[in-house]
Amino acid sequence: MTDNTPTTCPRNEQAIGWALHSLEPDEEIAVLSHLPVCPSCRRAADDAVAVLGHLGAAVEQVEPPPALRNRLMAQVADTPQKPPAAPTRQHSQQASMPPSRDEQRGSTRPADNRPGRASRWSRRTRQLVAGALAMVAVLAIGGLAVRNVQLQQERDAQIAQIQSLENLLDQFDRPDVDHALLARDDGSTIAAVVVENGRQQVFPIGVPVNATDRDIYVLWGIPDGSSTPEPLGTFDVTDATEGPLDVGSAGTDNYAAYAISIEPGRAAPAVPTTVVASGAVAA
């Protein structure tokens, strides 16, 4: 009967270090020449790569702040650097010995678990993995901080939009006010126009931010029984815009519909270039 008990190799630790990119060049060369003939080390390296992959995927990738790198470099500069200890005669002889025949054939003998034998997760291996976990923890904390700021900004934007919509509904309830909801071609409403005594105000509920250095939005009025729009005023939408936006007065509120266009430059043309939303005045 064949013994299928997994075996360990004294070089498992170096295989894991190779997977973590923590070996010296000469150690890395030795591991690369050993991996093809040692199933145990290949399994150890594959397991380490899989663990790091799961850890990396569990944390949102963010750009660490520059101050973090500066602090780390300062701590490294202040840490005394000790020269590596000279290898003992026994260690040097062991390192220079070629892999045994059992290692080359992938021996299936049970692992020797007697006290004093090197385990697969030795002290150095645990230090390497602990270092990787510490770095993941730093990225996780930084990612949570950035995410909290993003959530707060999103919450503030939602509150501002709710307040703008409440103000808009208050305007709709007034008997001397006309209004029109402006929608895209797909039917989604992105703006509203409120008209009182010939003065038009635009509520940009979902109008995208425009580049204020090279284009501008124009509000157009479409008279009843006509398809020719008339430019009523211009406005910009920025990240700080909460509405309403006063676009001036055309002297009349006798329009059957309104439209918004985005125009190149900083002035209203005679006819709209790109209409982004339009809608009829509510009856």
Secondary structure of 262-280 as H, E, C letters: EEECCCCCCCCCEEEEEEE
Q: In what order do the strands lie in the sheet with 189-196?
A: 230-235, 215-223, 255-264, 274-280, 178-183, 189-196, 199-203, 245-249
The Cα angle at residue 186 between residues 282 and 208, in degrees rounded to 5: 85
Q: Counting Cβ atoms within 10 Å, is residue 212 exposed (0-12), middle (13-18) or buried (19+)?
A: exposed
| pLDDT the model gives residue 267 | 93
Residue 1 has pLDDT above 60, yes or no: no
Judge whether 129 lies within some domain. yes
| pLDDT the model gives residue 109 | 47
pLDDT confidence band for 174 (50 / 70 / 90): confident
Point out the domain boundary residue: 149, 165, 199: 149
Judge whether 42 lies within some domain. yes
pLDDT digits (tens, 9 = 90+) for 91-138: 444 444 555 544 544 444 444 444 444 445 566 666 666 666 666 666
Distance CA 93, CA 30 (A): 15
Structurally, the chain folds into a number of domains equal to 2
pLDDT confidence band for 274 (50 / 70 / 90): very high
Q: 60 versus 259: which is more confidently predicted?
A: 259
| pLDDT the model gives residue 202 | 92
Judge whether 2 lies within some domain. no
User: Which residue range is the domain that position 254 belongs to?
Assistant: 178-280
Is 238:215 a contact under the CB 8 Å cutoff? Answer: no
Burial annotation 252-274 (CB, 10 A radius, 16+ → b, else e):
ebebebbbbbbbeeeebeeebee
Judge whether 45 lies within some domain. yes
Tokens of 89: 């005669």
Judge whether 4 lies within some domain. no
Residues 98 and 210 in one domain: no
Q: What is the mean pLDDT of residues 64-88?
A: 65
**For 87, what's the count of Cα atoms within 13 Å in the CB-facing half-sphere?**
8
Residues 144 and 187 in one domain: no
The Cα angle at residue 231 between residues 230 and 237, in degrees rounded to 5: 145
| pLDDT the model gives residue 23 | 82
Judge whether 131 lies within some domain. yes
Give residue 42's Cα distance to chain centre: 34
Q: 106 versus 42: which is more confidently predicted?
A: 42
Judge whether 274 lies within some domain. yes
Is 182:168 a contact under the CB 8 Å cutoff? Answer: no
Residues 189 and 125 in one domain: no
**Nearest CA to 237 among 194, 201, 208, 203?**
208
Tokens of 200: 């038009």
pLDDT digits (tens, 9 = 90+) for 182-209: 999 998 889 999 888 878 899 988 899 9
- Mean pLDDT, rounded, of the chain: 74
Q: What is the mean pLDDT of residues 214-233?
A: 91
Residues 130 and 81 in one domain: yes
| pLDDT the model gives residue 227 | 81
Judge whether 50 lies within some domain. yes
Residue 159 has pLDDT above 70, yes or no: no
Q: At 7, which amino acid appears? A: T
Residues 52 and 92 in one domain: yes
**Nearest CA to 271 among 234, 231, 239?**
231
